[in-house]
């Protein structure tokens, strides 16, 4: 979230509180607390009964100012509490993507909203694209403007979450169970690079990527992947249809592992990458890998790789092409 987007989010939070009957000092306190995330040297918030004024100033940056007129006011303690919760969690960095979406949607649509995502990711894993759905009970007070709803959601959400698209879908479409294919990317680099370290895992030993690709091809197909499932996971089956697994050279010392399947087990992708790295180091032969795949347990496979270099890259559905970070309504 850039400074302009942060400013819009702060103004929207203040507007929602003011129109809901919150005291002026409480509105200013919430807005000022959120503005602590700004990189500007000085911030100022002024709230009146009929309007909001916010300015960000810094000798080294272009000043930013927003003025918002508030005409109608009512009393809604629930909405005030929701905005306060989102802003507090936003500042503390303790809110999940699902919780942030639920709180923001519930506030904007004036009704409790439950959000269901296409799947779960381990803590620290990134998502270039995630699909979620929520059930909306009719009738609404006004027709749902999906474009405007996405715009207003992005004003309320933390900087780490972006909604690119909201669209109505058939009532039987489920973000998780209707997904046909999921794709992950895992990034590594084999030389120290400060510009990659945030989203790529640094490896200091030589790797044989030809052998790693040969091992990756052994994974493709329908089989039991119990050896890559985190111990203690509550799943009915460990059988997955794996469609694609390969290493691609990006540039210089950077590589990307792409893996696609109908479903993934808990911690599976990071365990697969760790196992392929063992092959690349010459510590695990292809023959031994086949034995591990056939009847091995989690302790027989490689270690789980760090989460920060893993990205949920795509989620595919029949007849639906969601944009990055899309959220669907039904």
Give me the domains of the chain, ranges plus CATH numbers: 3-168 (3.30.70.580), 181-316 (3.30.70.660)
- Please report the pLDDT score of residue 280 as a whole number: 95
Distance CA 32, CA 19 (A): 18
- In angstroms, the first-to-last Cα distance of the chain is 28
Measured distance CA(325)–CA(150) in Å, rounded: 11
Contacts of 64 (CB under 8 A, 6+ apart): 3, 4, 7, 40, 55, 56
Tokens of 147: 């474009």
Kindly list the averaged pLDDT for each block of 10 residues, start to end, along the chain of length 330. Answer: 74 82 83 80 85 86 85 64 64 64 78 81 81 76 74 78 85 88 95 89 93 96 91 83 96 93 92 95 94 88 92 88 54
Q: What is the pTM of this model?
A: 0.68
Provide the CA 250 distance to its chain's centre, in angstroms: 24
Query: What was the pLDDT predicted at 114?
Result: 84
Say what the pLDDT of residue 295 is.
85
**How much is the pLDDT for 81?**
67
Backbone CA torsion sign across 167, 171, 172, 174: positive
Residues recognised as catalytic: 122
């Amino acid at each position: 979230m850039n400074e302009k987007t942060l400013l819009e989010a702060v103004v929207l939070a203040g507007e929602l509180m003011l129109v809901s009957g919150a005291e002026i000092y409480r509105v200013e306190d919430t807005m000022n607390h959120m503005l602590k995330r700004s990189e500007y040297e000085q911030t100022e918030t002024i709230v009146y009964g009929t309007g909001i004024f916010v300015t960000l100033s810094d000798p080294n940056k272009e000043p930013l100012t927003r003025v918002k007129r508030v005409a109608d006011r009512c009393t809604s303690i629930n909405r005030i509490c929701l905005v306060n919760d989102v802003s507090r969690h936003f500042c503390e960095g303790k809110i999940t993507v699902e919780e942030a979406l639920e709180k923001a949607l519930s506030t904007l649509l004036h009704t409790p909203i439950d959000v269901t995502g296409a799947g779960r990711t381990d803590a620290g894993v990134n998502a270039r694209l995630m699909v979620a759905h929520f059930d909306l009970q009719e009738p609404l007070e006004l027709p749902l403007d999906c474009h405007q709803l996405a715009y207003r959601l992005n004003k309320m959400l933390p900087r780490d979450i972006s909604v690119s698209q909201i669209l109505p879908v058939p009532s039987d479409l489920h973000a998780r169970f209707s997904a046909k294919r999921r794709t992950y990317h895992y990034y590594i680099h084999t030389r120290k690079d400060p510009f990659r370290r945030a989203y790529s895992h640094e490896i200091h030993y030589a790797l044989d990527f030809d052998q790693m690709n040969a091992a990756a091809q052994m994974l493709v197909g329908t089989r039991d992947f119990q050896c890559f499932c985190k111990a203690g996971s509550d799943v009915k089956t460990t059988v997955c249809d794996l469609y694609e697994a390969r290493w691609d050279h990006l540039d210089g010392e950077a590589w990307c592992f792409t893996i696609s399947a109908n479903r993934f087990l808990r911690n599976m992708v990071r365990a697969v990458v760790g196992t392929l790295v063992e092959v690349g180091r010459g510590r695990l032969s292809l023959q031994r890998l086949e034995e591990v795949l056939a009847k091995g347990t989690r302790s027989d496979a490689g270690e789980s790789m760090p989460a920060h270099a893993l990205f949920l890259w795509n989620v595919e559905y029949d007849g639906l092409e969601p944009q990055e970070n899309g959220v669907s309504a039904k």
